[in-house]
Amino acid sequence: QVQLVESGGGLVQAGGSLRLSCAASGSIFSMNTMGWYRQAPGKQRELVTTILRGGSTNYADSVKGRFTISRDNAKNTVYLQMNSLKPEDTAVYYCYANHYYSDYWGPGTRVTVSS
Q: What is the pLDDT of residue 97?
A: 93
Q: Of 74, 77, 94, whose CA–CA distance to 29 is shortest?
A: 74
Q: Which of 11-15, 48-52, 99-103 has the lowest mean pLDDT?
A: 99-103
Tens digits of residue pLDDT in 36-90: 999 999 999 999 999 998 899 999 999 999 999 999 988 889 999 999 999 999 9
Q: Of 37, 40, 36, whose CA–CA distance to 91 is shortest?
A: 40
Average pLDDT over residues 11-18: 98
Q: Of 52, 57, 40, 38, whose CA–CA distance to 97 is shortest?
A: 52
Tens digits of residue pLDDT in 55-66: 999 999 999 999
Q: How far apart are CA 105 and CA 94, in angstroms?
A: 7
